[in-house]
Structure 1
Amino acid sequence: MDEGQEPPARAALVLGAHWGFLAFFGGLGGYYLVTILLAILMPGEFGGFDPTDLPDGGPLVLLAFLPTLVLGLGPAIGSWLWGRGLRAEFGVLPTLRDLKVGLACGVVALVAGYLASLVLLSFDGDGRGQDDPVTELGDGSALGWRVLAAVIVVFAAPLGEELLIRGALWNALARYRIPEWTVVVLTAVVFAQLHGEPDRTVVLLVQGVAIGMARSVTGRCGASLVAHAANNLPPAVLLFVGG
């Protein structure tokens, strides 16, 4: 096969289905496996566990993100084993157009999430459960750890989630000619459920749709990654407020 030529259709099949499904469930399985291992090693003792004996609990902040960082491993490995590589399969490196579309969709996600929160507050006057838990992770941590946590929130965590949801899962669904608007909605539902925050499900759902539109417009994960990063920027900034 000539370099750059598309592989045959059945080359993308693993166990009779598009390899993206296996990559998706592999990444998701890794996420829950790491979560379970952390729960076993630190059963309800996050506040007292300090594996590196550093002050202010900084490593605990990073451990909280570890399962999310594992999400992208399945899609990455799948693209190397059965696809055309990470960049060719997902378009993960943003282009100039990705930046423009991604930033626009990121702003839409922020505004939509804010409006959804206002609607929810009208039904839940005390605002219980509406705060973003990311802003609580930096409490008590030194500045250096907060900076590293902010980098994870804005860049690393969106990369793992985008490779899993709007990368592997999106490609697999598109392989079977599912209408694109349906793919946008389905991936937004998965995005919302993955966060495990029932009180913020509606907010995450509308934000997921806005982020998915970046992928839909450009056909690339680079754009949805930029949108996701823009959406996560305010919570990351709040890591430095009130500490």
Structure 2
Amino acid sequence: MEQDDGSPSVRDGLVLGAHWGLLAFLASLGLYYGLSLAITGFAFGEHVGTAELPDLGPVIVLAFLPNLLLGLGPVFAARKWGRGVLAEFGLVPTWRDVRIGLACGGFSLLAAFVLNLLLLQVYGDEFLTDSTTDVLRSMTSSVGWLVVAAIVVVVGAPLTEELLFRGALWNGLAHYRVPPWAILVLTALVFAQVHGEPTRTLALLGQGIALGAARMITGRVSASVVAHATNNLPPALLLFGAS
């Protein structure tokens, strides 16, 4: 929409009085939690009591299903109210995106390592564990299901989570002229909280800042997706440690 003088209207991108990115973020997060609760009650409450853990490979895929909603909301909103997915998020990576993404992903792993070492000194190794990897690995002895889980961890989760945090939420905050450094910290805080792992919140905050740095430097979500995938690769490989 344009004004009479041809300049863009200040209401461009607004839906129900708010930027579409913020609405997509809130709606996607609400659907994510709702579907997660429904799947947990149906799949785990109904079947875990009668099935052996090695037989629960399909439940891994089912458990990741809500994660898809994190990316679908931003994609839908960008196409309907924004300038399109490619223009809003820059999802086709350039070589610069790849280079910066790999570097930020490496810094994310380093930040997690250092922060986890500090937490180990405070809480001990019994308190601080990689719960996600341990749970996934214990739920199936099938290499095939572990491959599926690894693909989701390295490809699916980075794409959908970055579209939500460094995509929709970042764009929404930027629309209201929030300083980039503040957006970096805010998105990292929300990223850490949403994971729901209290023992790893500090490490996740450091990782979120490193991943967000890729978006801040390049202005493109594709760079943070590469960084996130780099960060998730070692845990994905660990899934096969006991297979």
228 and 132 in structure 1: CA distance in 2 versus 1, 3 angstrom threshold: farther
Give the counterpart letter for 2:132 in structure 1: P
Identical aligned pairs, as a percentage?
Answer: 55
Matches within 5 A, 1:21-40: 21-40=22-41
The answer as to 2:171 corresponding to 1:141 is no
SS class of match (1:10): coil
The unaligned stretches of length 5 or more in structure 2 are 2-6
State the distance in 1 between where 2:56 and 2:43 align. 14
How far 1:133 sits from its partner (Å)?
A: 1.4
How far 1:73 sits from its partner (Å)?
A: 1.4
145 and 195 in structure 1: CA distance in 2 versus 1, 3 angstrom threshold: same
60 and 42 in structure 1: CA distance in 2 versus 1, 3 angstrom threshold: closer
Q: How many pairs does the alignment contain?
A: 236
The answer as to 2:231 corresponding to 1:222 is no
**Counterpart position of 1:183:** 183
CA contact (8 A) 2:13 2:82 kept: yes
11 and 143 in structure 1: CA distance in 2 versus 1, 3 angstrom threshold: same
CA contact (8 A) 1:135 1:238 kept: no
How far 1:135 sits from its partner (Å)?
A: 4.1
State the distance in 1 between where 2:9 and 2:61 align. 41
Matches within 5 A, 1:200-219: 200-219=200-219
Matches within 5 A, 1:1-243: 8-42=9-43, 44-45=45-46, 47-48=48-49, 56-139=55-138, 140-243=140-243
CA contact (8 A) 1:46 1:60 kept: no
How far 1:129 sits from its partner (Å)?
A: 3.3
Q: Encode CA deviations 1:164-191: one digit per residue, 9 max, x unaligned.
A: 1110000000111111110000000010
Q: RMSD of the alignment, in Å?
A: 2.0
Instruction: After the TM superposition, list the runs of 4 or more consecutive aligned residues in structure 1 that deviate by more than 6 angstroms.
Output: none
87 and 46 in structure 1: CA distance in 2 versus 1, 3 angstrom threshold: farther
State the distance in 1 between where 2:58 and 2:228 align. 24
Give the counterpart letter for 1:178 in structure 2: V
Q: Encode CA deviations 1:85-136: one digit per residue, 9 max, x unaligned.
A: 1111111221111100000000000001000000000001234133241343
State the distance in 1 between where 2:157 and 2:117 align. 26
State the distance in 2 between where 1:215 and 1:135 align. 30
Give the counterpart letter for 2:158 in structure 1: P
CA contact (8 A) 1:113 1:206 kept: yes
TM-score by length of 2: 0.91
TM-score by length of 1: 0.91
Give the counterpart letter for 1:10 in structure 2: R
State the distance in 1 between where 2:111 and 2:84 align. 34
State the distance in 1 between where 2:32 and 2:211 align. 21
